[in-house]
Amino acid sequence: MHSLPFADRLCQRIQQTGSVACVGLDPRANFLPESLQPAEKGDPRQWARAFERFCIEIIDVVADKVPVVKPQAAFFEQLGPVGMQGLFNVIQHATGKGLLVIVDGKRNDIGSTAQAYAQAYLGRGSGSPWGSDALTVSPYLGSDSLEPFLQQCETVGAGIFVLVKTSNPGGGLLQDRQTENETVYQAVARLVEGFNEGRCGLFGYGPVGAVVGATYPDQLAKLRALMPRTIILIPGFGAQGGAAADVAAGFDASGLGAIVNNSRNLIFAYRRPEFSSRFGDLRWQDAVAAATDQMNQQLRQVLTD
């Protein structure tokens, strides 16, 4: 149990590390370094151990470089129950290293089922079996589906990140629809911001964050203005095409209020031409370190301009 709410802990970690980067832990079987590939390719237990070791080694590399990591639940779920044990071990290792952990599960349901998800994932050291600091959540089920999460956030000092405007090309189908005076995603943004009213901490941010893709810089700027109390999680940096300049609009004047996620380009940096020649497959961890430093530097440059 933490005395400080999630938003404050995140802002403090950002100031301590001098980084607004979030490392996405997306263990994809076909990208895993050769040295971690299991001997028995058909054995989910061996894959789960490989995923776990991969993520734990990344955590050891980035623990002092970034404030937060974001394990992607889907890749662990893909291995069945043994994969979920791996996810648990990864969360434990990350929190033990002082990192904040956002589980990317895009969960939600109605009423008491939403409460079950909230109690499952939110609140390190609070009796939550997964013990993470925050969870990504889908808004399709409306405001009453988000309230049990909000309640749990307040009880255990945790956070959620609600999908507002996603980075994929097809996201606009629902999110960009014009309704009355606003789009669907703007309506979600207003809802999210409303939840933070009267719930802001030391840095002026509340427990309910928003996911806004880096692939739409103009919308990011407008959403920053629409949600002044909301921490924005910006995915789509790197592999999905977003660049450092594109995310600048997500931050407040103090360089807070947002975190920028990068998964593939950091954790599989050894596969990028610029790093593969220097490090190769055997020193894949050094490639993670170099790519993380590079991303931090790019973001610092843009945020101090």
104 neighbors 73 (Cβ within 8 angstroms): yes
Mode of pairing for the β-strands spanning 100-107 and 134-137: parallel
Measured from the CB of residue 277, what is the shortest distance to its own copies in angstroms? Answer: 26
Taking the C-alpha atoms of residue 299 and residue 295, their distance in angstroms, rounded to an integer, is 6
Match 């301590």 to its residue by tokens.
Answer: 16
| DSSP label at residue 97 | T
CB of 193 to its own copies, least distance (A): 14
Least separation, in Å, of the C-beta of 143 and its own copies?
5
Beta strand spans in 61-99 (E): 68-71
For the purposes of burial, counting CB atoms within 10 Å of the CB of 3, is it exposed (0-12), middle (13-18) or buried (19 or more)? Answer: exposed
Say which of 65, 70, 97, 106 is annotated catalytic: 106
Q: Which is nearer to its own copies, 173 or 282 (CB)?
A: 173
Comparing CB distances to its own copies, the nearer of 116 and 282 is 116
Q: Which residues bind its own copies (CB under 8 A)?
A: 26, 28, 44, 72, 74-75, 77-81, 83-85, 87-88, 104, 106-114, 116-117, 119-121, 129-130, 138-145, 163, 166-175, 177-180, 184, 187-188, 191
Task: Output the smallest distance, CB 20 to its own copies, in A.
Answer: 22
Q: List, as one string, the DSSP characters of 211-256.
A: EE-TT-HHHHHHHHHH-TT-PEEE--BSTTSB-HHHHGGGS-TTS-
Taking alpha carbons only, the member of 243, 238, 203 closest to residue 220 is 243
Clarify whether 106 is annotated catalytic: yes
> Cβ closer to its own copies: 128 or 196?
128
Residues 142, 144, 147: CA angle, nearest 5 degrees: 115
Comparison of 181 and 277: residue with beta carbon closer to its own copies:
181
Cβ neighbours around 191 below 10 Å, total: 18
- Minimum distance, C-beta of residue 13 to its own copies, in the bound complex (Å): 25
Nearer to its own copies, 179 or 304 (CB): 179
Active site residues: 106
